[in-house]
Each structure stands twice: as structure tokens, then as C-alpha cells.
């Protein structure tokens, strides 16, 4: 499921990133990839802003406003007449 384009609040501070890969492991939508010992946002529009990456980053290198993406996804689903179930476990 894609959310609205270019609205994700996800950010990675690569100066703090040590490339441990935990953010990529916990991301349910494969938004983040680790290459050259740094995390990269490769699919920002797939981010549902669940916050798992930020919670699991020991270096505090990830920031994301949790919850917004879920709301967008549910609104879009409603407008399209499809299921309004959010795919994450936020609610």
C-alpha cells in the first residue's frame, strides 16, 4: 500500500547512523536499505509512519512522526471505497 506522495515525515541523520541495519530489519514495508554502512530511505511513499525504525535505532538517527501515515492510508482507502483497515498494529 502506498500513501500520499512526498508527505512522509521519515528522516535519517546519516552522521549519527552506524549502519547497524536494525531500522531496515524492523520496517514492515522495506522503506529503508543499508548500503555502504549507512541507512538510506529508498521507498518513502511506502512509509506508514509506524515508528518502529526510530524506536529501534540506538543511535537516535531516525525521526518520524508516528501515526500520520496510518491516518492518510485509512482516508485514502475510504475514498477509494476499499478496506479502511490499517496494515500496521497501531490501533
The reply on whether position 70 binds ligand SF4 by CB under 6 A is no
Cα separation, 39 vs 31, in Å, equals 10
Exactly one of 5, 11, 21, 76 binds ligand SF4 (CB under 6 A); which one?
21
19-34 burial, b at 16+ Cβ within 10 Å, e below that, comes to ebebbbebbebebbeb
Among 4, 11, 27, 74, binds ligand SF4 (CB under 6 A): 27
Site string for ligand SF4, 29-68 (x = CB under 6 A): x-xx-x----x-------xxxxxxx---x-x-xx-x----
Q: Which sign does the torsion angle of CA 76, 26, 7, 42 carry?
A: negative
Task: Read off the C-alpha cell for 8.
Answer: 512522509
The residue ranges that bind ligand SF4 (CB under 6 A) are 10, 12, 17-23, 26-29, 31-32, 34, 39, 47-53, 57, 59, 61-62, 64
Amino acid at each position: 500500500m502506498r500513501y500520499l506522495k512526498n508527505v512522509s515525515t521519515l528522516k535519517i541523520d546519516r552522521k549519527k547512523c552506524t549502519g547497524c541495519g536494525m531500522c531496515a530489519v524492523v520496517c514492515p514495508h522495506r522503506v529503508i536499505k543499508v548500503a555502504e554502512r549507512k541507512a538510506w530511505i529508498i521507498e518513502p511513499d511506502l512509509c506508514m509512519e509506524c515508528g518502529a525504525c526510530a524506536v529501534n535505532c540506538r543511535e537516535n538517527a531516525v525521526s518520524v512522526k508516528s501515526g500520520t501515515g496510518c491516518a492518510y492510508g485509512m482516508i485514502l482507502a475510504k475514498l477509494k471505497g476499499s478496506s479502511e483497515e490499517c496494515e500496521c498494529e497501531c490501533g
